[in-house]
Amino acid sequence: MIARRVRRPRERLLVAGLVAPALVLLAVFVVLPAVWAVAISLTNQALTGVDARSPRFVGLANYQRLLSDDDFFASLARSATFVFASAIVGQSLLGFLAAFLLGDRRLRGKGLFSAAILLPLVVPETVAALAWASMTAPSEFGTLNRLVGLTGIGPIRWLQEYPMASIVIVNIWRGIAFAMVLFAAALESVPRELLEAAQVDGASVRQQLRHVTLPLIKYAILLFLLLTTITTFGVFGLVYFLTRGGPAGSTTLLTVYIYEQSFRFFELGFGSAAAVVMLAIVLGLGLFYVRLLRAQI
């Protein structure tokens, strides 16, 4: 008992020493910017003009203005569509399918298959955006138009005619690798004995997947949905480099809206208010998923 009492303070100091750097980084790069954004959102801070020199406290005026701004609600709806289509549906389904195929012992060329899917994960966001901008170029020399031209169809202006679908596909391409890695690890944790027992009982592959595999990896699925929902809500560079929110604002997501209000129209206080609302939405979604995770545990 005495030895345990002696160890506890040392263990606590060790844990505190290991956790302290992470907490400091979290405070400096997450908590303080969030607090600063809340403070700025309560002022008429601007980047140019008189308000840039002497900003005034305006209380909730910026938030009241947001509630009457149709462009804000339109960008919020686009972000919800983008997150649902590219992350919750696209990345989840295709990532799980890729992981399931990798787990099939009969599949040949697994190394090449996994490398092709993991490649987008190591490509920087700016490079990926520029590569896709070249692929979707409206001229006949664009990569996609070259492929479509083989069927006799003329050049298509992908980012102008199908802007939302284009950025959804690009974001799925970017995130499918992380989904595959997480789901592959979850599928490996499923006991083979249970699958073999279900197979002996006459269960088909579909029935095994539905009644054995999916119930056992619910935790991993919810964890992925938590992470991908939060990160996809904050996607900015990929969309801005491809479409800059166009054409006619059809791809102006909430992140692009915040950027334009803050750095294009120079209304830093108003842009910060929109950012705080986005933070509240993301936190709400995070709490929702955490409750689901606790229920599964």
Contact 63, 277 (CB under 8 A): yes
Residue 159 domain-assigned (yes or no): yes
Domain that holds residue 248: 73-296
Rounded Cα–Cα distance for residues 269 and 42 (Å): 7
Residue 130 domain-assigned (yes or no): yes
| pLDDT reported for residue 102 | 83
Residue 265 domain-assigned (yes or no): yes
Residue 219 domain-assigned (yes or no): yes
Residue 2: pLDDT band (50, 70, 90) is very low
Element (H, E) at 20: helix 2-26
Give the Å distances, CA to CA, from 258 to 30, 262, 266. Answer: 18, 6, 11
Residue 295: pLDDT band (50, 70, 90) is low
Rounded Cα–Cα distance for residues 220 and 96 (Å): 11
The model's pTM: 0.88
Rounded Cα–Cα distance for residues 218 and 289 (Å): 12
For residue 263, give the CATH number of its domain: 1.10.3720.10
pLDDT tens string 136-149: 988 888 889 888 88
Rounded Cα–Cα distance for residues 88 and 73 (Å): 21
